Structure formats: C-alpha cells, structure tokens
C-alpha cells in the first residue's frame, strides 16, 4: 500500500526532462512577451536602468537602504577592491503607527536612522567632510514595493501593500520623498539608484566575480535578474533606447515568480488545492510549486492522503495538522536534516507541535521525510528551469566559451538540506554532465546592502 502511494506521489511530483521542456519553452516565450509589453500592463521583465556591472576593483564608502515588509536595513558599505567589502548595518522596525501615518513622518524616521549611521554607528567609515555634510554621500535604495521606475534614480510610488498605507505618498516620486526628508534633517545624501533586491544580488555577485550573468534569489519566493541588450527591450520608448551606445546591456528584473500558466505548468491535485486555499488564486502559480512559502503546505496536503490511507500515524490525523498552512517549510528542513540521527529527536520535536493520537513511530518519520524529499526535489527541478531559460535567453552556451556564473542566494537555496545539490543534479539531467559543468552556481551574499551600495556608486 505504502509503495503504491509513493509511486503515485512520485508520478505527481518528479519531473522528467520531457516534462520540463514545455516549461522552459513557455518561459522563453514569456521573456520575449515581457520585453515588449509595458510593465503597467504586465509586471514582468522590468528595466532597472542600470547599465554597468562592477569590475571588482571599486573602492570607497557608500550607503544602501533596504526596506521590506518588516524591517528597514541601512548599511554603510566599504568597498575595498579585489571583490572585498565590509558592511556596517543598522536595522530598525517601523511601528504600525509609522506604517499607516503621514508619508513625510515615515521618511523623516528613515532620515533619522541614516543620520545615526553616518554620525554615530559607522562614523569611522566616513571622511570628516562626509560626516559634517560637506561632501555628498550616494545612497542606493532597495525598495521592496511597487514602483513605476522612470530612470535609475526616479520612480513613482505605487500602492505599497504589506501593511503600509502611508498618507500623501502614492503617486509621488520616491527620490523626491527621500530628498525632502534629508533636507529637513540637514543630511547631504543623494539617492543615485532605486533597485530591486534581485538586481542587487546580480550586481553584488558581479563585484565578487565579474563574470556573473544571472542573479537568482530562491527563498520564500523566487526571482531572477540578468543583463539584456537594450535594443531588445522594446517596451522602452525608442527615444530612451537610442540614448545608449549599440550593444549596451541593461539589467532586467524578470519577476520570474509570476511566470507560468495552467497551459504549460504540470500542476497536480495538491498544487490546485493549495492555489484554491490561497488569497490570490491563479496568481504566481510557478512560485507556488517551488518556493519556501509553499513547500510545507504541499507536503501537508500529500501527507493527508497517506494518513487517510492508514499508512501514516495509524490513520489518525494529528490535532492541528488538518489546518491549512500548519506545517511550514522549516519543519521539512528539520525532518530532512535529521535523517542521520537514528533516534530522530528533532523530528519528534516537530511532531510535538501537533496532538498525535498515538506516539509517532520511526516508520512515520521515514514516510513523512520521504514525502518532504519528493516535494523538495521537484522544487529544485523547477528552480533549475529559471536558470536554463535564462541561459537560453542570453545564448550563453553558444556565445560564451568561459564558464557561466550564476549568483544564487535565498533561504530555500542556502538552508534547505541538499537543495543546492538537487538544483545541480537537475541541471546535469537537462544538459548532460559535460555541458552542465560549464554552469557554476556560486553563493551570492548581501544583495540588498552590497548590491545597493555598488549600484549607488555605479550610477553616480
């Protein structure tokens, strides 16, 4: 009975090269559509207006700011050359009052934090003239909210989401809001770049390894960035394209998380059930199949079938386990990490979060862990699709004799057990080991801070 259930589960989740081919083809078409469709109509393939990559030899101290749904991170980044950098970071968490109040008050709060960094926390990294405000400091802003970007340092603030409802903010230029606050606080700081965190990852890894051609974040979500020839970005007005020399490349934020449709994604019954229970059905279907926000729920849904069949937990659903989203991806990580321990102590701790009718057995652990492995193996194959399609889009295998460098980061890639090896194996299965060996996956760090500071410097 158990073997038959696993055969069915494997058929549902494990994807052969033949099954991946329509997804790669679909993504290749979506790149082309996104490059010509205005971002207001289709929020993919967003031009960053960044047209330079670092050499690794840059030096100096620059500022970066990274605002997400929860934290504000401001960093003084000292670029030391030879691909080396040191980061002095200050982290603040905005209150609900700040997130729902007057926009100018929120930007003043950010300006105060920047002032603390320059004049107190990281004073030793700046020159006297910078600390006293005589010399201008460049700031790269990583803004994890919708912005209609009109230039590398300009962008109209759109509806923010993530609990932010700032008054008198939407429709204003982001750089203007910052500069007004800096003036009120007596700061000589200039926003020289507005960037997306994935573009930041690509640039940050470009400083470590200037050959980097793809930046990929594989975390609670997934996204990728790469350089595209400006003449191919026809969504940009011809007058903008003509400003740049021929063959200039611009970094593109693909928003690959919203790629994929029911027409070519191999959705199984668990994917469909998860999507129906989500507050944004039919949106980000690809991301829902592989990212850290969703793997735990897919595992729970599959495990429920094993319980109903009587082969897991003696057929009794543990109290709480029947609730949607009650089994986070972190639990999968613990189970897969715990396989070497014959006592499986950490796995038993995970299950203690649920009210089990009978004490779970080692056999229960083995079944649940095997389900985790099958679900996460598909995630690795689907992450590899992003890399394969971006290699195709840039014609890297044909045009480049050197190794193809991919800068990767994100919690799912970095911390989920064996995920890096599984992505590598998926590439080997697609290309064959000889060709696949030309693609090097390197761990990229500090996309928000180092990437933001680098882009601030490159765009001065």
Distance CA 412, CA 380 (A): 10
CB atoms within 10 A of CB 86: 13
Question: What pLDDT is stored for residue 446 in this prediction?
Answer: 67
Summarize pLDDT for 316-353 with one digit per residue, the tens: 999 999 999 999 999 999 999 987 777 788 999 999 99
Distance CA 114, CA 182 (A): 9
Summarize pLDDT for 21-77 with one digit per residue, the tens: 999 999 999 999 999 998 776 789 999 999 999 999 999 999 999 988 788 999 999
Angle between helices 2-13 and 362-393 (to 10 degrees): 20
DSSP label of 360: P
Whether the CB-CB separation of 397 and 434 falls below 8 Å is answered with no
Distance CA 231, CA 249 (A): 9
C-alpha angle with apex 215: 209 to 220, nearest 5 degrees?
135
Q: Which of 388, 442, 459, 457 is nearest to 205 (CA)?
A: 442
Average pLDDT score over residue span 115-128: 94
Distance CA 170, CA 443 (A): 36
Coil, helix or strand at residue 161:
strand
Give the sign of the dihedral formed by CA 75, CA 79, CA 82, CA 86: negative
Summarize pLDDT for 396-435 with one digit per residue, the tens: 999 878 899 999 999 999 999 999 999 999 999 999 999 9
User: What share of the chain in percent tops pLDDT 70?
Assistant: 99
Q: How many helices (H) and strands (E) does the chain have?
A: 19, 13
Q: Which of 142, 141, 156 is nearest to 39 (CA)?
A: 156
Strands 154-157 and 147-151: antiparallel
Token representation of residue 447: 């996309």
Token representation of residue 19: 């099954």
Residues 6+ apart with CB under 8 A from 342: none
Distance CA 47, CA 253 (A): 6
Question: What pLDDT is stored for residue 93 in this prediction?
Answer: 93
- Helices (H), ranges, 50-196: 96-99, 103-116, 128-131, 174-184
Tell me what the pLDDT averaged over the chain comes to: 93
CB atoms within 10 A of CB 324: 13
Q: Which of 299, 365, 308 is nearest to 327 (CA)?
A: 299
């Amino acid at each position: 009975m158990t073997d038959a259930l696993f055969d069915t589960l494997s058929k549902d989740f494990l994807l052969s090269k033949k099954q991946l081919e329509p997804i790669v083809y679909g993504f290749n078409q979506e790149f082309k559509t996104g490059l010509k469709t205005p971002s207001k109509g289709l929020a993919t393939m967003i031009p960053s207006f960044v047209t330079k990559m670092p050499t690794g030899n840059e030096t100096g101290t620059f500022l970066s700011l990274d605002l997400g749904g929860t934290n504000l991170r401001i960093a003084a980044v000292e670029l030391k050359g030879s691909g080396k950098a040191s980061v002095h970071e200050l982290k603040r968490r905005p209150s609900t009052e700040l997130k729902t109040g007057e926009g100018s008050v929120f930007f003043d709060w950010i300006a105060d934090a920047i002032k603390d960094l320059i004049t107190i926390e990281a004073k030793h990294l700046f020159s006297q003239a910078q600390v006293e405000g005589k010399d201008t400091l460049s700031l790269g802003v990583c803004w994890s909210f919708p912005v209609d970007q009109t230039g590398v340092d300009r962008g109209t603030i759109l509806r923010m989401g993530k609990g932010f409802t700032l008054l008198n903010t939407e429709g204003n230029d982001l750089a203007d809001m910052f500069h007004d606050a800096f003036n009120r606080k007596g700061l000589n700081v200039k926003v020289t770049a507005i960037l997306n965190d994935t573009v930041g990852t690509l640039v940050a890894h470009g400083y470590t390894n200037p050959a980097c051609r793809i930046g990929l974040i594989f975390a609670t979500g997934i996204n990728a960035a790469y350089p595209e020839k400006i003449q191919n970005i026809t969504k940009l007005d011809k007058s903008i394209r003509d400003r740049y020399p021929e063959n200039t490349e611009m970094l593109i934020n693909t928003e690959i998380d919203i790629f994929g449709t029911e027409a070519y994604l191999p959705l199984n019954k668990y994917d469909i059930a998860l999507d129906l229970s989500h507050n944004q059905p039919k949106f980000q279907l690809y991301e829902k199949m592989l990212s850290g926000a969703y793997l735990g729920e897919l595992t729970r849904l599959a495990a429920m079938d094993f319980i109903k069949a009587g082969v897991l937990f003696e057929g009794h659903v543990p109290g709480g386990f029947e609730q949607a989203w009650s089994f986070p991806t972190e639990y999968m990580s613990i189970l897969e990490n715990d396989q070497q321990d014959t006592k499986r102590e950490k796995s038993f701790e995970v299950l203690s979060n649920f009210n089990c009718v009978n004490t779970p057995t080692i056999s229960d652990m083995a079944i649940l862990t095997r389900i985790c492995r099958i679900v996460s193996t598909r995630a690795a194959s689907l992450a590899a699709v992003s890399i394969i399609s971006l290699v195709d889009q840039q014609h890297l295998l044909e045009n480049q004799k050197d190794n193809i460098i991919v800068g990767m980061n994100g919690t799912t890639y970095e911390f989920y057990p064996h995920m890096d090896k599984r992505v590598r194996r998926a590439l080997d299965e697609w290309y064959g080991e000889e060709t696949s060996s030309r693609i090097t996956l390197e761990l990229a760090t500090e996309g928000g801070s180092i990437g933001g500071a680098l882009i601030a410097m490159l765009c001065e």
